[in-house]
């Protein structure tokens, strides 16, 4: 990506711009000076459709003036606005600056509305229909791309409605996740578990923890080998939210269900990341969004008055 953001491209575009303006000047000058060979009747000798002859008349003055105005406008524009490499222009305008100014104005316009919610507890915000309408819109515009419009997620993207949280589902934890993002990493564990047969036995044991269909004999053999996984998932397999290790006993599978999916996780590991949203939203917006996300898995508490 850095190949498209270095200084070469700005110089390249600036060069094309200058060459295009110079070419327009040359074209205008040549069209005024060049004269085609003409006959006595002021035609060029070109004939179409039998009797349509091309006259050798000069360019209309209005066309020439428009051409000159266009060139002058382009020169003035390049002097006022950025368009020549790193030159910032006399007005100091930039798309980034304009975007920042518009975002700041937008935040100022809605600040009084968000101020009302900022003073409320997340549980109370979740009961406010107006706040939830705002939270839903924030979610749809920024979170639904991964978690889905119904917030039920998909393979690799958590379901936010089921109450199963890798790092905790309290309003404070959700706010922390939104603000700072999360990085999940499970290293390949096959070498630590043992032989390929040991890995398959551990996969069967993991299936048994959630009551899923499994081979009981292999699962019993894999129980002892599961000790290699207990540092994160716990000896009972219920996980640890402090490190984001999933609960293996609840029959909720983020990265796929069945022996093949578990074997892939043990053999290959998995890295997953949620980007931080702290710079995208104001603290008040994060408060409303976190309250909305919390309400998705706490429908009863959010609906109570």
Residue 301 to residues 14, 35, 128, 171, 291: CA-CA distances in angstroms? Answer: 59, 86, 12, 13, 12
Q: What is the pLDDT of residue 216?
A: 95
Q: Is residue 47 located within the same domain as residue 111?
A: no
In sequence order, which ranges of 143-180 are alpha helices (DSSP H)?
A: 144-147, 171-180
DSSP state of 245: B
Query: Is the pTM of the predicted complex or chain greater than 0.85?
Result: no
What pLDDT sits at residue 36? 59
My answer on whether 109 and 149 are in the same domain is yes
Same domain, 131 and 236: no
HSE, side-chain direction, 13 A CA sphere, residue 8: 4
pLDDT value, residue 28:
85
User: Do 70 and 105 belong together in one domain?
Assistant: no
Residue 10 and residue 75 share a domain: yes
Closest CA to 170 of 55, 6, 287, 294: 294
Structure tokens of 66? 């428009």
Kindly state the DSSP code that residue 110 receives in the 8-state scheme.
H
In-domain check, residue 292: yes
Domain harbouring 260, CATH code = 1.10.760.10
Query: Both 280 and 155 in a single domain?
Result: yes
Which pLDDT tens digit goes with each residue over 164-196?
999 999 999 999 999 999 999 999 999 999 999
- In the three-class reduction of DSSP (H, G, I as helix; E, B as strand; rest coil), residue 236 is classed as coil
Predicted local distance difference test score (pLDDT) of residue 292:
96
Of 14, 296, 305, the C-alpha closest to 140 is 296
Domain shared by 159 and 295, yes or no: yes
Domain that holds residue 33: 2-80
The domain boundary, picked from 80, 112, 138, lies at 80
Give 48's strand partners. 52
The answer to the question of residue 231 being in a domain is: yes
Q: Are residues 128 and 268 in the same domain?
A: no
Instruction: Give the single-character DSSP code of 34.
Output: -
Mean pLDDT in consecutive groups of 10 residues from the start of the chain, 305 residues: 68 90 88 68 78 79 89 93 87 90 87 88 94 95 95 94 93 96 94 96 96 95 95 94 93 92 95 92 93 92 61
252-269 pLDDT per residue, tens: 999 999 999 999 999 999
Q: Does 286 map to a domain?
A: yes
> How many structural domains is the chain composed of?
3
Q: Which residue pairs from 256-264 have beta carbons closer than 8 angstroms and sit at least 24 positions apart in sequence? A: 256/155, 257/212, 258/207, 259/200, 259/203, 259/204, 259/207, 262/203, 262/206, 262/207, 263/199, 263/200, 263/203
Distance CA 44, CA 46 (A): 6
């Amino acid at each position: 990506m850095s190949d498209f953001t270095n200084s070469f491209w700005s110089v390249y575009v600036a060069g094309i711009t200058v060459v295009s303006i110079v070419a327009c000047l040359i074209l205008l000058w040549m069209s005024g000076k060049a004269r085609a060979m003409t006959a006595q009747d002021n035609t060029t000798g070109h004939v179409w459709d039998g009797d349509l002859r091309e006259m050798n008349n000069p360019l209309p003055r209005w066309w020439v003036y428009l051409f000159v105005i266009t060139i002058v406008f382009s020169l003035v524009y390049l002097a006022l606005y950025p368009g020549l490499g790193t030159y910032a222009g006399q007005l100091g305008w930039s798309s980034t600056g304009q975007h920042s100014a518009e975002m700041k104005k937008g935040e100022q316009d809605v600040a009084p509305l968000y101020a009302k919610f900022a003073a409320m507890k997340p549980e109370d915000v979740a009961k406010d229909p107006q706040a939830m309408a705002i939270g839903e819109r924030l979610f749809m515009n920024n979170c639904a791309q991964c978690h889905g419009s119904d917030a039920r997620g998909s393979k690799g993207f958590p379901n936010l409605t089921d109450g199963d949280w890798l790092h905790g589902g309290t309003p404070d934890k959700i706010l922390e996740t939104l603000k700072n993002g999360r990085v999940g990493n499970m290293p390949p564990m096959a070498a630590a578990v043992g032989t390929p047969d040991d890995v398959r036995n551990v996969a069967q044991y993991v299936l048994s923890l959630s009551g899923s269909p499994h081979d009981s004999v292999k699962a019993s053999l894999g129980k002892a080998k599961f000790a290699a996984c207990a540092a994160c998932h716990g000896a009972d397999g219920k996980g640890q939210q402090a490190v984001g290790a999933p609960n293996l006993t609840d029959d909720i599978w983020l990265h796929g269900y069945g022996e093949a999916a578990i074997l892939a996780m043990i053999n290959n590991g998995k890295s997953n990341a949620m980007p931080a949203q702290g710079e995208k939203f104001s603290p008040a917006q994060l408060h409303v969004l976190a309250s909305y996300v919390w309400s998705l898995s706490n429908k009863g508490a959010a609906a109570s008055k």
